[in-house]
Amino acid sequence: MMTRQLILLSFLLFTAFSSNAQVGGESTYEFLNLPNSARMAALGGNQVAINDSTDLNVAYNNPALLHPSMNQKLLMNYVSYFDDIKFGYASFAKNYGDIGTFALGMHYINYGKFTYADEVGQRGGTFNASEYALNIIWAKQFNRFQVGATLKPILSSFEAYQSFGLAVDAGISYASLDKLTNIALVLKNMGGQITTYYEGANRESIPFDVQLGVSKRLAHAPFRLTATLQHLQKWSLAQPEEVDNGFETTIEKDDFSKKFLRHLVLGVELLPSDNFTIRAGYNYQRRQELLFKDKASTVGFSWGFGFKINRFHFNYGSARYHLAATSNHISVAINLHNSFN
């Protein structure tokens, strides 16, 4: 059994590093990179190694984390992003014994209403723009290993321009014997466009990503520490920057430590009880991309909390993506079978 898991892990690594490197802003269907839940938003936007069998949302970030105990769980997530832009995610899980556990989810973003205008500014009516991804998730346990995959048909619609695509996520997760430490590897968004936005257009790439994560719950303190490395298929995530010191213009490049930090997303959870959690996260890459140098901001930092009441699990996450506003993430999960444990 161990040999089979090592072969699978080697295959995933080979597939990852033989693929073309891509980062945000260089591909279509970028909404696939949005955080799906309040918990993930609070923990920096993405964590792939949280082996929490009570939270169906973690299976969106890593399909291998879909657990049999998530059977009959239903969840809904909603975010008022900016202005009229809203996005969310809903999912339901069902366990089928030896076959594995399945979940069906829908990830969407609605960009709001736009006004038609011609080249001279004459207005005439409105149109909508939105994108959708159906998530068909499967996972199965093999002792302390878990493997999983997600099939994602994608529909992107901007006025009369539509594109259909297909993506696959593949993940593997390993839990320590005491179940306090979890390590995971995920290959996200393998696939591409099936139809382009207009006839004759070249097919665009989609946001492929290789992610490696670890989570550690402390044995004698109420904390869970999490870390995820993103975009491992491409080492340098920043373009050289021009710096004018008043006398001359120089080109600055990130050193090794800054290049590494751009891949790292950190999170921490305080667990004072089984029914209440406080969270915080830090995303260095987001902060560097969105921060204005002449004004301090909490861009890149995030926080949130969660609590359980009988069959209901509520989570709130606050993340700042721009100086203009803070985005509020809300998640509600319902256990249709029995109480959360």
In this prediction, residues 286-315 reach a mean pLDDT of 87
Would you say residue 341 lies in a domain?
Answer: no
Q: Is the pLDDT of residue 28 over 90?
A: yes
Rg (CA), the chain: 21
Q: Is the pLDDT of residue 325 over 80?
A: no
Would you say residue 314 lies in a domain?
Answer: yes
Question: Cβ distance 137 to 103 under 8 Å?
Answer: yes
Question: What confidence tier does 297 reach under pLDDT thresholds 50, 70, 90?
Answer: confident
Question: What confidence tier does 243 reach under pLDDT thresholds 50, 70, 90?
Answer: low
Would you say residue 300 lies in a domain?
Answer: yes
Per-residue pLDDT of 203-230, as tens digits, reads 999 999 999 999 999 999 999 999 999 9
Per-residue pLDDT of 172-201, as tens digits, reads 999 999 999 999 999 999 999 999 999 989
End-to-end Cα, the chain, rounded Å: 30
Domain region containing 23: 2-335
Average pLDDT of the residues of the chain = 87
pLDDT of residue 253: 80
Q: Which CATH number does the domain housing residue 258 bear?
A: 2.40.160
Q: Is the pLDDT of residue 309 over 50?
A: yes
Would you say residue 293 lies in a domain?
Answer: yes
pTM of the model: 0.87
In this prediction, residues 17-42 reach a mean pLDDT of 76
> How many whole angstroms separate alpha carbon 268 and alpha carbon 169?
25
Per-residue pLDDT of 96-120, as tens digits, reads 999 999 999 999 999 988 888 878 7
Would you say residue 248 lies in a domain?
Answer: yes
Domain count, the chain: 1
> How many whole angstroms separate alpha carbon 161 and alpha carbon 194?
14
Would you say residue 340 lies in a domain?
Answer: no
Question: What confidence tier does 249 reach under pLDDT thresholds 50, 70, 90?
Answer: low
Q: Is the pLDDT of residue 49 over 90?
A: yes
Task: Tell me which of 118 and 151 has the higher pLDDT.
Answer: 151
3-state secondary structure the chain: CHHHHHHHHHHHHHHHHCCCCCCCCCCCCHHHHCCCCHHHHHCCCCCCCCCCCCCCCHHHHCHHHCCHHHCCEEEEEEEEEECCEEEEEEEEEEECHHHCEEEEEEEEEEEEEEEEECCCCCEEEEEEEEEEEEEEEEEEEECCEEEEEEEEEEEEEECCEEEEEEEEEEEEEEECCCCCEEEEEEEEEEEEEEECCCCCCCCCCCCCEEEEEEEEECCCCCEEEEEEECCCCCCCCCCCEEEECCCCEEEECCCHHHHHHCCEEEEEEEEEECCEEEEEEEEHHHHHHHCCCCCCCCCCEEEEEEEEECCEEEEEEEEEEECCEEEEEEEEEEECCCCCC
pLDDT of residue 41: 96
Task: Tell me which of 336 and 39 has the higher pLDDT.
Answer: 39
